[in-house]
Structure 1
């Protein structure tokens, strides 16, 4: 796309957004919300309260309902140890994940499907 075409496209998008903004400015519902917000913020500033203080005053249970960062860190069950035995060398590898060095070497050498068939536990 040429720079001129890109410019004209952006210009059209801007004009559409400006028209939408103008139509919203005449919306009485939006005017009421903006007036309420400005009065509320002025009142909060006058009394030195924050929005959190007001929420705690109006709904003290809200703090208990809000998810905390601690509840998000639920530990998952530990991985089980898998034991692979190479039938060619007799070497045994115990791992909890597939990122073990020897296991990776075996998978590149023999193929992942073959190595998975060596799983004993």
Structure 2
């Protein structure tokens, strides 16, 4: 895009925004909101309070909803128990906390999962 075309496009957008600004200046609702904000800020200054303090006075539960409260402590998982499997054919033993043990998987594929679980020492 040429510089002239870019300039005219920006000029057009500026004119649109200025027109929208003039419409807002004449809006009764905006004038009321501006007046309210000014009076509220003066009142806050008069009593030496911040907006956060006023919110906490009016709605004490607001702090917990906003996430400003400290994050809850994550629950930790129970530690896994050590399981001891003893192969009656070879006398070999395996100690594991989970089922992702290489030798245990081989036994389960060779002898079947139910059979290997019966080898669990209690």
Range class of TM-score, shorter chain: 0.5 to 0.7
Task: Tell me how far apart the structure 1 counterparts of residues 21 and 14 of structure 2 sit (CA, whole Å).
Answer: 10
Task: Tell me how far apart the structure 2 counterparts of residues 61 and 70 of structure 1 sit (CA, whole Å).
Answer: 14
| 2:31 equivalent to 1:31 | yes
Task: Tell me how far apart the structure 1 counterparts of residues 73 and 9 of structure 2 sit (CA, whole Å).
Answer: 46
Q: Which runs of 4+ in 1 moved over 2 A?
A: 68-75
Structure 2 unmatched ranges of 5 or more: 78-101, 106-122
Helix, strand or coil at the partner of 2:35: helix
Distance 1:7 1:49, change over 3 A: same
Matches within 5 A, 1:60-99: 60-68=60-68, 70-71=70-71
The answer for the alignment partner of 2:56 in structure 1 is 56
Task: Tell me how far apart the structure 2 counterparts of residues 67 and 31 of structure 1 sit (CA, whole Å).
Answer: 33
Structure 1 unmatched ranges of 5 or more: 78-119
Structure label with greater radius of gyration: 2
Distance 1:68 1:58, change over 3 A: closer
| 2:10 equivalent to 1:10 | yes
Distance 1:8 1:69, change over 3 A: farther
